Structure 1
Amino acid sequence: MTAIAAVLDTLTELEARWGAGDADAYAALHADDATYVAFDGTVMTGRTEIAAGHRPLFDGIMRGSRLAVVDRTVHFPDPATAIVVQRAGIIMRWQKSRTVPSGKRLSTNTTVLRQAGESWTVVAFQNTRYHPWSKTLMGRLMTR
């Protein structure tokens, strides 16, 4: 299997574990000392914090949600490191017919993965809500 295929398999598995609502399984794809920055700036360090941070979400508002990727690029700065930048978001359980996230749930995120034997592990994740300046009211007014 190529490196890009293995990285994409890991990302697909992350999406599946999110969809299953299993915080421990989701966190297990992250390194023991991974850094995870949520959309609101919350920082979780390590699998234990990542699982603990996602458990109430999966048991509550995010129960039954799924991740949807709009576009993605993968870059390998060295053979054992992958940097993935993607536009993605969450589709809520009541949005069953949606195939892409709503604008308010759309984010740009960066995931850094390291090769661990035959598999790839997430070592860092940063999630930022997608709100381009040019699409805000102030941005539209200032660029007239």
Structure 2
Amino acid sequence: MSEEITRLVERMTETWNAGDSAAYAGLFTEDADYITFFGLHLRGRKAIEETHRALFETSVKLAEGGPAPLVRPLTDDVALVIAGGSSSVAGVPDPSRESVVTLTALRTPEGWRFASFQNSRVRKP
């Protein structure tokens, strides 16, 4: 379970950086809840794809690598996932863009998909 979900998290970065909004949205369930760092609540795979299509035309890219996500199984078919991340704009890393992301991974007939996503900026003291 953990390896499959870790790979799903890696695919988020890969599809984001490739600018592939359909593949990115395909990592989520049809009825996923997706909450951005500024509080926008997207409902469903279609909304995730449409919103990210425009975003992917910008120069925002996700940092690759980094620590492995924490995967905490809740049942055989559901897991809590906590991952860290950061991004750059026009190739310039920006520490103020560091985030912690909380996801719910769900085993579906399509394989593991994310049913929820919550992105929060990391606050430095």
TM-score by length of 1: 0.78
Residue 18 (str. 1) matches residue 10 (str. 2): no
Residue 131 (str. 1) matches residue 123 (str. 2): yes
Deviates more, 1:121-130 or 1:66-75: 66-75
How far off its partner does 1:58 sit? 0.5
Which 4+ residue blocks in structure 1 deviate beyond 4 angstroms?
A: none
TM-score by length of 2: 0.89
Q: Does the CA-based 8 Å contact 2:17-2:62 persist in structure 1? A: yes
- Determine which structure has the larger helix proportion and give its number: 1
User: Cα RMSD over matched residues?
Assistant: 1.7
Cα 1:112/1:67, change in 2 over 3 Å: farther
Q: Which residue of 66, 71, 75 corresponds with 1:74?
A: 71
- Give distance in 2, aligned partners of 1:69 and 1:41: 26
User: SS at 1:54's partner residue?
Assistant: helix
How far off its partner does 1:13 sit? 1.4
Which residues in structure 2 correspond to 1:65-104 (within 5 Å)? 65-68=61-64, 70-71=66-67, 72-95=69-92, 102-104=94-96
Aligned to 1:140: none
- Give distance in 2, aligned partners of 1:82 and 1:33: 17
Q: Which amino acid aligns with 2:62?
A: R
Question: C-alpha deviations, 1:76-113, integer Å up to 9, x for none?
Answer: 01111111112211133423xxxxx5321101110111
Q: Which residue of 34, 40, 43 corresponds with 1:42?
A: 40
Identity percentage of aligned residues: 27
User: What stretches of structure 2 of length at least 5 have no aligned partner?
Assistant: none
Larger Rg, first or second structure (1 or 2): 1
For this pair of structures, how many residues does the alignment match? 124
Aligned to 2:105: 113
Cα 1:69/1:36, change in 2 over 3 Å: farther
